[in-house]
Amino acid sequence: MKIEVAPQETTRAEAFSLWMTSPMPMVTLTKTFNVTKVLKASKRRGIKFNTLLCWCIGKAASSIKEFYILPEKDKLFKYDSIAINVIVNNSKGGINSCDIAFNDDIQQFVRDYDELTIQTINECKSSFIDNSMIIGTSAMIQTQLDSIVNQYTDKFCNPMVMWGKYRRNWVKTILPISFQFHHVQMDGGHGACFLEQLQQEINKL
């Protein structure tokens, strides 16, 4: 469910007044993660690496209340659910967006992820969830990247989690991940807490 809320009645009131009219209200944090357990779980369970990482992102975000509030144009909206957006290479050589509802049940999330992305690949048609707070993701696995700063557009104020190709050595597998968010939605401290929680969720796999 998506409902409009009065900014002054939320903990984001001051941030709304300060940053809603900013020409560049986005903040980007980058952290290098130990994703050894994601890779091991992927091989052990036969689940795509990116699918497991997307579940960990949703799991970490779902525990932070700021993820359930999002600015849109000159308004503030509150959500009661989260979904993950992935970019899919379709069968015609183009790309489409695909929203997958986050589910605390990892097996159900994996089934939904596989079903919806395969459908998007075959139909070459984007699918969207309107009533959930969408966390965008973008995996550019063609090369190793140190950091990613996305474009800003007032048409899309949603948080974005982005990464390139992971790096393996004989000790562990690491992956720099960039997290971009709107300053009205959360402060840098909230973003840092999300990144810490994401590593914890990865460690639990």
Q: What is the mean pLDDT of residues 35-52?
A: 97
Model confidence over 89-140: pLDDT tens digits?
Answer: 999 999 999 999 999 999 999 999 999 999 999 999 999 999 999 999 999 9
Identify whether the C-beta of residue 79 lies closer than 8 Å to the C-beta of residue 110. no
What is the CATH superfamily name and number for domain 23-204?
A: Chloramphenicol acetyltransferase-like domain (3.30.559.10)
pLDDT at 153: 79
pLDDT at 152: 82
Q: What is the mean pLDDT of residues 28-48?
A: 97
pLDDT at 145: 97
Model confidence over 2-16: pLDDT tens digits?
Answer: 999 999 999 999 999
Model confidence over 71-95: pLDDT tens digits?
Answer: 998 999 999 999 999 999 999 999 9
Model confidence over 154-165: pLDDT tens digits?
Answer: 778 999 999 999
pLDDT at 155: 78
Nearest-angstrom CA–CA distance, 199 and 35: 8
pLDDT at 73: 87
Model confidence over 13-27: pLDDT tens digits?
Answer: 999 999 999 989 999
pLDDT higher than threshold 80 for residue 32: yes
Q: What angle do CA 4, 81, 60 make, to 5 degrees?
A: 120
Mean pLDDT across the chain? 96
DSSP secondary-structure letter at 125? -
pLDDT at 151: 84
pLDDT at 40: 97
Q: How many CB atoms lie within 10 A of CB 163?
A: 24
Question: Distances from the Cα of 38 to the Cαs of 71, 81, 128, 149, 159, in angstroms?
Answer: 32, 24, 27, 24, 22
Each domain of the chain, given as residue ranges in start order, spans: 23-204
pLDDT at 200: 98
